[in-house]
Amino acid sequence: MKILYIADIVGKPGRTMFKYHIDKIRENFAPDLIIVNGENASHGFGLSGKNAKELFNAGVDLFTGGNHSWDKKDIIPFLESENILRPVNYPKSAPGKGIAYLEAGEERLVVINLMGYFTMPMVDNPFTMIETIVSELHEAGHKNIFIDFHAEATSEKNTLFALLKGKVSAICGSHTHVGTDDLVIDQGTFYVSDVGLTGCRDGVIGMDTKQPLQRFLTGVGSKFDVPGRCKRILQGVLFEIEAGKCIDAFKIKAYDEGEVFISQHAFKE
């Protein structure tokens, strides 16, 4: 089973890059499932119902989310009925779900959306909760398990990898919008601290430079904005699972309307 994971899609530039390149990605890499972190897909903050439908129609099988999952209020009904996740460690009373079960032929993939602690909204302990969830999934016979860990600190992400190494198929970090080069497969678990954004590449984390510069130069903040025109990038990872273990993984990139290429293979321990 081959899974394509793209994070984080930021605004219209990110949606445009996904729609432009997805057919070529399918042709070249033949993913069985396409998973996207979409919490910034609607002008950088949240995912609207309209944009969810747009990207579902373009080929997304499942959306994961994060701390911006609730920014567009019209998405809340979709959280109950569609393949759109929010972090599993939000309070149980919050709308939506944090775990999904996807079918690919005769295989099933369990997808878990988890959020970290550092600089994030108040949620349940991700480490103690995920230990229980993974143990219950194993008892139920599930082997193919993928976690989108939406967290700020690389130390949190590294610690989750240490906790679950050999117990899940893949852990991919999202949220920072800055890709890392620490792709590794160890004890059958694929790990990368952050996949990086899909959207504008010549600003600050996919946003226009004006507001971040103002904040750092003057201490006075204002709302971030996605540029109308920019240089763009697509970043994703494709990993292959057999019997619950990742056997291959690599990073893919595309710049503007250029070719999609493999930028890095995961190191195998």
Tokens of 222: 């204002």
Per-residue pLDDT at 221 exceeds 90: no
Q: How far apart are CA 2 and CA 211, in angstroms?
A: 39
Count of beta carbons in the 10 Å neighbourhood of residue 229:
8
Q: How far apart are CA 39 and CA 72, in angstroms?
A: 9
| Of 33-47, 50-64, 170-184, 216-230, the least confident | 216-230
Tell me, what's the pLDDT at 80? Answer: 85
Q: Exposed/middle/buried for 17, CB within 10 Å: 0-12, 13-18, 19+?
A: buried
Tell me, what's the pLDDT at 81? Answer: 82
CATH 3.60.21.10 correct for 2-268:
yes
41, 15 Cβ separation under 8 angstroms:
yes
Annotate 188-223 with b (16+ C-beta within 10 A) or e (fewer): bbbbbbbbbbbbbbebbbbbbeebbeeeeeeeeeee
Nearest 10 degrees: CA dihedral of 111, 115, 116, 121?
180
Contacts with 135 (C-beta within 8 Å, 6 or more apart), sequence order: none
3 state DSSP class of 2: strand
Region 160-178 average pLDDT: 97
Per-residue pLDDT at 157 exceeds 90: yes
Q: How far apart are CA 175 and CA 266, in angstroms?
A: 20
Tokens of 220: 């006075």
**Residue found under tokens 């019209």:** 74
Q: Is 68 a catalytic residue?
A: yes
Tens digit of pLDDT for each residue in 109-130? 999 999 999 988 889 999 999 9
Radius of gyration of the chain (CA): 17
**Residue 16 one-letter amino acid:** T
236, 251 Cβ separation under 8 angstroms:
yes
Domain definitions of the chain by residue range: 2-268
> How many Å from the N-terminal Cα to the C-terminal Cα in the chain?
21
In this prediction the pTM is 0.96
Active-site residue identified among 21, 68, 175, 177: 68
